[in-house]
Structure 1
């Protein structure tokens, strides 16, 4: 495993054993003071509305941390061909461990305040404690982002696109941009199912587990429709209704742009943001796609209608950018 990827996997995974240790120590030190059953879900009004055996709560919590640690280690490794996204995944994974660890410890301590013979229904967890947990997660996310490192910046392309690459005629004084919106029914369905599951999990297993489900469902819904743009900035992809998150492949990293047919399952194993050795991109459906050959030898694809026009424009703008004294 390359050194940079190993460092980012560590950023993503390290908080999970720390969170497991913190939860285990809190549980063991306070076990004699916990009501049985203990409150495991805090509902509206900061009041307990879900209960379970203390030992079961500990087991479920540790299993969730273990599962998430493995998941984010895999996701960080999987996105190794897209350094910017890999860095974000690592920081987000570690931040999630901090937030959930804080909340689980807070729930254990809140139960201990009621006492072994107390009524678990009287357990409360002020919203400010959860806010502190998310603030701590944000701090770790920023520090993790910095610790993950920027990595090597790919060398910019210096020559024009190949002579046989398609181009869009533009006069020297003309400027142009291209944009389209593309959506994914499969991703809408997946996101909706995940969010409904989060609600059901909240009733059954408590809101920390529901939060985990929602953390996967919300991005699926937000990214089910994206705007793809091709202009002097290169290829830019953003959610159709929001300006962020933004994925950009700068023009100087594109050796040549073209278009080809992409099969979401066969070529990239599914929908959404995909990254495999040698290829990455945004695949919301099968069909025509912009295909950009990058300076690091990999390919970036985006499935979208009228990809040929976008590719031709990118080649024209790249030629202009790289010509002696030229400007985009």
Structure 2
């Protein structure tokens, strides 16, 4: 069985088990359930209710809908192979979470005459997450993986060197950025203050922790010099990444698709390759001595690659001298 079919089958089976668990619990407890069931809780107290028929419909329909969505996503060929297995694991984890709370909600309602009196202790959250971890891990293990492509993106260009005289040095630098990230970062940080007052300081801290890295990644300077390839934020001292010339085999220009080859934007990693992908199109591709590839989407990548090849060759010559 192919990896695509296996992942879809795993997701479908885990959600089928969740629906069966809910149905079995309902049939077992049917005579002990009140006409109106408590289905939502604020803290431990019930604040949302529905009748038994509606509960049963949701218990069967929602797993079916989730199974269909995640089975399709985990099998979609446009999704990078490295991400299909993760989607299967996420879909399977939701089946464990939903299945647990189906059964726990029914058990909490059993032998209660007034649904408003139903309580759901906080420890059920930890138990539900534990069930999600088990089914998610099962989905990950059984989902397997696909053979990684030899190279993401289009074919690499020729390995070209920039001619430099003995003792001559050169530096190439270019600023890259994303049009969407600055607005996303600004919006996230702007929400930290009002939501901090309304929902508490923890919410503000979470938004700041999310917003600052987005701001740092919104504009980066890419530099090629005798030290190697360096990526650094133009706004903050960190993040900063340097690949020394000693770790570089060669460099070239290639075309990549952000979603097709790396599953999205930002700092990405797929089997055999990683890099900073802020858009689709022209990219600097660096083959490393470890056998991997690092890419960064940047204009004038051919010039950067040619200089990097020259400097890496110099470093190898100096190391062998």
TM-score w.r.t. structure 2 length? 0.59
Distance 1:184 1:27, change over 3 A: farther
Name the residue aligned to 2:5: 6
Question: CA offsets per residue over residues 126-151 of structure 1, 9 Å max, x none?
Answer: 11112111112113222322222233
Question: Which sections of structure 2, spanning at least 5 residues, go unmatched?
Answer: 189-206, 240-246, 267-277, 288-294
CA distance in 1, matches of 2:60, 2:162: 56
Name the residue aligned to 2:91: 93
Distance 1:310 1:234, change over 3 A: farther
Task: Report the CA distance between 1:16 and its aligned residue.
Answer: 0.6
Name the residue aligned to 1:111: 109
Name the residue aligned to 1:162: 157
Aligned to 1:57, the other structure's residue is in SS state: helix
Task: Report the CA distance between 1:85 and its aligned residue.
Answer: 0.7
CA RMSD of aligned residues (A): 5.3
Equivalent residues of 1:42, 1:50 under 8 A apart = yes
Task: Report the CA distance between 1:70 and its aligned residue.
Answer: 0.6
1:78 to 72, 76, 87: 76
Bigger Rg, structure 1 or 2: 2
Equivalent residues of 1:168, 1:313 under 8 A apart = no
Distance 1:154 1:288, change over 3 A: closer
Task: Report the CA distance between 1:292 and its aligned residue.
Answer: 7.9
2:143 to 143, 148, 173: 148
Equivalent residues of 2:96, 2:136 under 8 A apart = no
Alignment pair present for 1:37 and 2:36? yes
Alignment pair present for 1:65 and 2:63? yes
Equivalent residues of 1:167, 1:313 under 8 A apart = no
CA distance in 2, matches of 1:29, 1:121: 22
Equivalent residues of 2:95, 2:135 under 8 A apart = no
Name the residue aligned to 1:266: none
1:308 to 299, 308, 315: 299
Task: Report the CA distance between 1:293 and its aligned residue.
Answer: 9.1
TM-score w.r.t. structure 1 length? 0.58
CA distance in 1, matches of 2:309, 2:2: 32
Question: Which sections of structure 1, spanning at least 5 residues, go unmatched?
Answer: 193-217, 244-250, 263-272, 296-301
CA distance in 1, matches of 2:90, 2:309: 34
Name the residue aligned to 1:48: 46
